[in-house]
Every structure is written in structure tokens, then in C-alpha cells.
Structure 1
Amino acid sequence: MPDEVDDVVGVLTEQIEHRFGMGIGTLKAAVAAAPDAHREATEAVRRHDLLTESQAVLEHAEDDLLRALETQPGEADDHTVDLAHRVNDAVSARDGRAMAVRWLLDPATRGERSPAAGRPTRLDRSTRRGPAAPTSPPARPATAPATGRGALR
């Protein structure tokens, strides 16, 4: 794939730079100097590092697969299939980390960084205003019919 089409890291790097108003190198230096000064910047740098690491693993796996495919005269052997699976796993890891960076940069989620923030509201019991189901027994008629089998006399 062309780099400009599949440059997930580049796009997210630009978004981080725009969000914090400085280049990624400058941001990383600022976070290294004062990691507790800005929690969101520290987390963005940490996630960006994980993303770039997973991108490097993906590129290495793709290179290994291409080398193996170039030497294959016909069908792929087990080793080549294993390399293809490694590429798929690396893509999944990279995409998962990219999703985490996107979520971190999403203005709608700012301030919602708790582990429960990603949970759907229907599962978040802390926002429930009352019981989930009625707690009182249903209303019964004032008198029960006294006829029939098993009626008390």
C-alpha cells in the first residue's frame, strides 16, 4: 500500500501536534521534563510511543513476509502462512492503539478519562436514579373468592 494512504501514525501525529500546539518532538521533551504537569499530554505521548512501536513491528513483519513470498515458487509453505498471520496480528495491534489515540484526542471525551468512561450508560450503575425494577409487591384484590377446592373456611 502507498504510504500516503496507510499513514495512520502520520495522521495521528498531526492531530496530536494540533491538539497541543507543538511538534511531537517538543511535546515529548516537555512531557519528559515534567510528566505530571499535563496529564493528557503525558498520556498522548505514551500512547503515541506505543503506536509508533506497533507500526515498526508491523513494517518489520511485512518486510519478512515479502521476502518469504519472493522466494516462494508456488504455494506458500507453513512458515509463510505464519508470517502472514504475524502481519495480521501486527495490523490489529497497530489499529487498536490508533483507536486509543483517536479516543484520547476526541473532544467529546475530554474529562471522561476514567475506566468507566468507555462503558455504555446502560451498564453504568452510578447514574441510575432509582431501582431497576419495582420493589413493592403487586396489588392484590381485597377479598379472595372463598369457593372452590382448597379454599379456607
Structure 2
Amino acid sequence: MNNEELQQWVEEVSLQYFGRPFIHKATFNARLKATGGRYFTQSHNIEISPHQLAAFGKEETEKIIKHELCHYHLHILNRGYKHRDQDFKQLLAHVGGSRYCNTLPERKEAKKREYRYLLQCVHCGQQYYRKRRMDVSKYRCGRCSGKLNIKMLDKE
């Protein structure tokens, strides 16, 4: 999918779910990896991550588009467009947009490789990854208050 097709898609979603036209620019931005999309308050443009489309498909990407369009339309109407605003939360729930995007699989693996230690609860098996070593005798499991064991992870 290219930027022209994305623009068409965003315009269709805007009319279908919001009943208002999207008259600004929607583009892909390949640098977006930790977030699914961005709305710019100055230019009113929207950027969408192509990685989300490739990893999770059109259905999840449409939820991201709805999220960004909620910011867009509420900002245009001078209503609460920020994540914490009630207007935003209500509109997002009404149109079926996603509050958060899914984490990309390659980012999950990269995040796991950063950790050096694995804490595991003896009682319930809950796992905690840590970058720094800690004294397990001073801490308990957050889920069941069980005793924790520490293990150093192998590095490739």
C-alpha cells in the first residue's frame, strides 16, 4: 500500500465513522516503531506506521487510523482531543478505535535481549525480567507474595 491508497483509506474511514471529511494529509512513516500513528496539531496531518500494517493487517491498522482521526476531529471542533480528555475517550469507544497499538514482534525480542536476569516466583511461576541484579530476600512476588528465585540469562 502506498501513501495515495492510505490517503483514500483515511478519507473513507473518516466519512464512514465520523461523518466528517478528512481534508489534510495522511502518510506512512517507516520510522514509527513504538507507536502506531501520530497526529500533528499544527498541520493537522496524520502519520501511520507501515510496520503495524505489515505485522497485524488492515483491521488493526484501521483501529489506529480511527484513533488518530479522533484526535483530528476533536481538535478541529475545539473539544478535548488529548488522551486524558473525556471527549476523546468517549469518541474512541464509540467508533471502535484502539487505545494502544500492538507491540511489534521484533521490538518484543529486542526488549527481552536487554535483560540480564530472570526472577521467577516459586509459588505461582510469575516471571520478571530485570536489567540489574537485586537481592531477592528483600522482595516477594507481586501476584501471590511468594518467594522469588533469580537466574542469570545467557547472552548470545
Q: Which has the higher strand share?
A: 2
TM-score by length of 1: 0.29
TM-score by length of 2: 0.29
Which structure has more relative contact order (CA 8 Å, sep 6+)? It is: 1
Q: Which has the higher helix share?
A: 1
Q: Who wins on radius of gyration, i.e. which is larger?
A: 1
